[in-house]
Structure 1
Amino acid sequence: MTETHEARLGRLKTRSMWRGIREMDLILRDFSTRELTALTPDDLDLYESLLAENDHDFLAWITGTAEPPARLAPLVARIRERAVGLTRPD
């Protein structure tokens, strides 16, 4: 059975909120709440592959202490922009 778009968004939002590193939980909870529905299907594919990455690597990419893989760089930059000034969940 094929997953509906709404079901996919719900699954990705849930995976965004329960990462294992609190900082990533906060950053991705905010991003998924505000931006997930605006992503194209191709961007959703990239976002899903990004969620499969190691949290420590992902956090380093978001904080700018390491460079993300080129294919993920635009999406990481978008998440990083959204995370600037984020101090607590809404």
Structure 2
Amino acid sequence: MEPDNDNALPSDIRRKKLKFRAWHRGMKEMDIILGNFADRHLDAFDAPQLDSFEMLLHVPDQAFYSMLVHGADVPAEIDGPMFRRIFEFAKAPLSAP
């Protein structure tokens, strides 16, 4: 999976687009997990981290949710620092920093 051509956009516009995509996935549970994660962390991400997050947005909701919540196997191309960060975020209460 490769990031979209959005990486050529100014970083503030790219972050807004990624936050929108995180909040509008199609599966409410994933909207909540990825939307809150994006709101909390995207502003501090550098370009490679934005690329990693963007690539994960291409993972289908059901598969992503199964990996995060039900412990489904995580393919090697998905398993990395960004996935693990989202996984830890999904396990924590929303009020935690």
- How many pairs does the alignment contain? 87
Q: For residues 14-35 of structure 1, give each alpha carbon's deviation from its aligned partner in whole angstroms, at most 9, with x where no partner exists.
A: 0000111111010011100001
**Given the two structures, how large is their TM-score scaled by the length of structure 1?**
0.83
Q: Is the 8 A contact 1:9 1:36 kept in 2?
A: yes
Q: Give CA-to-partner distance per residue, 1:35-64, whole Å, 9 cap, x none.
A: 112222112111111101111111112115
Task: Let me know the Cα RMSD of the aligned residues.
Answer: 1.9
Detail structure 1 runs of 4+ shifted over 6 Å in the superposition.
none
* Contact 1:62–1:80, Cα closer than 8 Å, also in 2: yes
Q: Does residue 84 in structure 1 map to residue 91 in structure 2? A: yes
Q: TM-score, normalised by structure 2?
A: 0.78
Q: Percent of pairs identical after alignment?
A: 35
Structure 2 equivalent of residue 75 of structure 1: 82
